[in-house]
Amino acid sequence: MLPATDLSAFRMQQDAVADALIADLVRDHDIQAANRLLQTLTRNYDLRGSLLPGPIGERLDQYLEETALPPAWANPDAIRTAQRVFATNAVTIAMLLNFRSLPMAYSCANGSKVLYETGLLTARDGVPNLVRRLMETAQFVIYAMEPGGLSPGGRGIITTQKVRLIHASIRHLLITQRDWDHQNHGAPINQEDMAGTLLSFSALVVEGLEMSGYKLSQEQKDAYIHCWNVVGHWLGLDERLMAPNYDEALQLGYTIFDQQLAASPWGVQLAAALAEDMGRKVGVLLKPAVPVLIRYYCGNHVGDVLGIGQIPLANQRRVANRIKLLTSGRQRAETLVPVLRWLLGKMSVDFLQNTTTMFNGFKHVQFYIPSYLTEGAEALRRQNEPR
């Protein structure tokens, strides 16, 4: 396990490979060309640099080829085990992403500053950017964790390559057009923040499943961490920030979290927007459960940091017990009728995918670079003005 002093050094490290490509792309082409390229990345698995002429096309070919390779240490059996865990628990994992992973990320003031600075809360094409980012997150997770998603040509690899370029584009924006405070916040989307985010999608999700009453074997837990380490490789994460098993991953996650936890006005705004969106999705009757779930899965200290309304502990325990009761009943049914596990798993993934596309007008989610990337700070200011 890396000591805290070593972790702090990663706050100034980024992703040289993707950063160099985006810098060349933005310099030689307008932002519309960049968006067309990135949209095509999700639709064409055999994309070649012929989409862009000249040296940049050759650079794109090189990037796609080099970053499509899995790490030598990738274990296909462990990846399949992790994907089965996801398929069986897809709906619960989606809930945990919204009520645990994202709020805990928002409570880390330095990392969540990036989301705020890139205009997350503004609307685009009538769709709040928060909703769009939530759909992108869900789609990214679905593609990575679906069967075959991380096999050669899989949608998880293509999407991860694209997310890596989006990260680089946002870094380019903040460094070249915003007065980013490296001394206080570290570099934007730095290695430590990337590791913390992936751990919130892996170790914190596994712990959240246990908090929900699910019982996973050590093999399943370690496999889930391994799978997200492989995703981290494709995202450009330094291997020194990849824990070899669940226990060490959880420890690393909390080490990063404890260092970065801090109240911030943008963290409060992000959490409020998330809670509002979740309230709309679950409906009027279940809306009061949203702050209860956030406080149960994240803890009261995080709830306080994010400005989530105070909830009596008795109410939190009541909701937790109901979740565990539902989980216990489902697991007993799956034990008695083994085919039910497969059926519920397939239904869970299909439901999650259909929900994602429904909230995007029944279209696949298109990841995009903010249009103000090369338009200067004035365009960014206009986009963030109240409407």
The alpha carbon torsion through 270, 275, 277, 279 (nearest 10 deg) reads: -170
Which tokens in the block code for residue 173? Answer: 């924006």
47 within domain boundaries: no
Query: What is the pLDDT at residue 121?
Result: 44
127-128 and 123-124 beta bridge pairing: antiparallel
DSSP string, 181-204: -HHHH-STT-HHHHHHHHHHHTHH
Q: Nearest Cα to 296, choosing from 4, 43, 98, 86?
A: 98
pLDDT digits (tens, 9 = 90+) for 167-178: 887 888 788 767
The H or E element containing residue 124 is strand 123-124
State how far the Cα of 250 lies from the Cα of 254, in Å rounded to an integer. Answer: 6
State how far the Cα of 357 lies from the Cα of 2, in Å rounded to an integer. Answer: 40
Which tokens in the block code for residue 375? Answer: 């338009």
State how far the Cα of 230 lies from the Cα of 153, in Å rounded to an integer. Answer: 15
pLDDT digits (tens, 9 = 90+) for 223-248: 999 999 999 999 999 999 999 999 99
State how far the Cα of 350 lies from the Cα of 360, in Å rounded to an integer. Answer: 15
192 within domain boundaries: yes
Give the chain's domain count.
1
17 within domain boundaries: no
The CA angle 65-68-71, to the nearest 5 degrees, is 120
pLDDT digits (tens, 9 = 90+) for 29-78: 766 666 666 555 545 545 555 566 667 677 778 888 889 899 999 999 99
19 within domain boundaries: no
pTM of the model: 0.83
CA distance to 68, 136, 152, 321, per residue, from 46 (Å): 11, 22, 11, 48
pLDDT digits (tens, 9 = 90+) for 114-160: 877 765 544 444 445 666 666 677 788 888 998 899 999 888 998 88
277 within domain boundaries: yes
User: SS3 sequence, 35-47?
Assistant: HHHHHHHHHCCCC
When computed from its CA atoms, the radius of gyration of the chain, rounded to whole angstroms, is: 20
191 within domain boundaries: yes
Q: Which of 153-157, 320-324, 381-385 has the highest mean pLDDT?
A: 153-157
The alpha carbon torsion through 120, 116, 144, 298 (nearest 10 deg) reads: -120
156 within domain boundaries: yes
Which tokens in the block code for residue 178? Answer: 């915003």
The H or E element containing residue 138 is helix 129-145
Instruction: Give me the mean pLDDT over the 265-282 stretch.
Output: 87
The answer to whether the CB of 352 falls within 8 A of the CB of 138 is yes
The type of residue at 239 is E
CA distance to 36, 161, 166, per residue, from 39 (Å): 5, 12, 11
The type of residue at 7 is L
Q: Nearest Cα to 141, choosing from 97, 204, 106?
A: 97
8 within domain boundaries: no
What residues does 261 pair with on adjacent strands? Answer: 108
Task: Give the domain range for residue 249.
Answer: 71-382
